[in-house]
Structure 1
Amino acid sequence: MKVEIYSDIACPWCWIGKRRFETALDAFPGKDAVELVYRPYQLVPDAPGTASPHRAWLAERYGPQSVAMDARVAELGLAEGLTYDFDAAQHVNTILGHRLLHLAETEYGAEVQGRLKEALLKAHFTDGVDVGDRTALVEVAASAGLDRERAAAYLAGDEGAAEVEAQLAEARELGINAVPTFVFEGKWAVQGAQDAETFRKVLDQVATEIGERLPAPQPVAPAGESCADGACAI
């Protein structure tokens, strides 16, 4: 079973959704036959390449409700064992991180890509790392098992840029407008940070349905909490 997870490094619900899906997958008998691939999505594609404080950016864009947005995510994150430090988080363009994830997938495989995704989310939301900074990204990549010199050379040029842009365009063509979105076998879609029980039911359902031809992608669960166009549900 192939599961493509469309998400952004700067999407707080994407980290919660990732953890809940992993919990469901750990309890799924067919876990070893599931291939996870992370696909790019940018909530704020026009975000600058120079980092600025997350709190200030969110308050400017969404006003007083931004405090509640962050507080709710932080509380739910703790329940999943995740630490969000929104005072330290930096608002910056995430395209370089998505390029690194493409490198991880194509040259190292799904397992390393998954480790890198986790490392990037933690760097952004817990450690206050500027994930738009090439030097910082190389260190994150190395911590996830990528060769440091290869990552540095990759980011110094434009390798992977066209491929990532093509994947972003494909996400738009599929009608994906909020993340996280989980696409199973290219046919069934689940949007949002569903609870682990829902993800487990979806895994069971898709395992049963594999082989049937349906229009792609079709929702198989009500939308869960997600981020869209730079905003996150509160």
Structure 2
Amino acid sequence: MMPMMPMKPAAVFWDLDGTLIDSDPYWLESERALVEEYGGSWTQETARALEGASLPSVAAMLRSCGVALDDDAIRRRLTDDVLRRERCRLPWVEGARETLVQLDAEGVASVLVTGSPRPIADMVSARAPVGAFGAVICGDDGLPSKPSPEPYLAAARAVGIDPRDGRSMGRCLVFEDSLPGLRSARAAGCFVVAVTGHARVPVEDRSLFDLSIRDYGDPALRSLLQGLWR
């Protein structure tokens, strides 16, 4: 049976990398290039371990692979390289922009919730449909990283929703792709949609999400949203 939200969403929260845009290949290419620059070894296990990780965790992993730079230097190198790639081509996940427009037309606030740094988050927000995002929560905001629920609780506060109100949080729909992100959204008490089309690691624990879609053209999502607008 198709899972249903009880009513129109109070808000929709969007993860960025692998969920809103297919940017994970950019991060992987940048991370791999940095490891190889310092003569380190890059494996598929390394790539899987980095999925959804915060930048401090990424920096620690890259240092363990031989990158002789401190956290700030690794962060700058990766951010600058990914930002350069995204400015050249921003790879929106199929149907994402159209869904943002639909939500805005229905009066539903969207918030971008990402562990990526502010320059990347703001650039993507600026290139989204006009007025699509009511707020941006990013990795530079001083919050605990996903899988902590704090980023999604902060997103709720940003659009006037009391995160202590479980009923209201249950009406917040989250699009996520990584295990840390799904755990964060679930811990925040949201209705969670797993976006699987560009995920590095398959999500097999169905307790972490209410609905699974490949992209935003997925019939399961269209059916869910159409039911909410009636």
Could you state the TM-score of these two structures normalised by the residue count of structure 2? 0.30
Q: Could you say which structure has the greater relative contact order, defined with CA pairs below 8 angstroms and 6 or more residues apart? A: 1
Q: Which has the higher helix share?
A: 1
Could you state the TM-score of these two structures normalised by the residue count of structure 1? 0.30
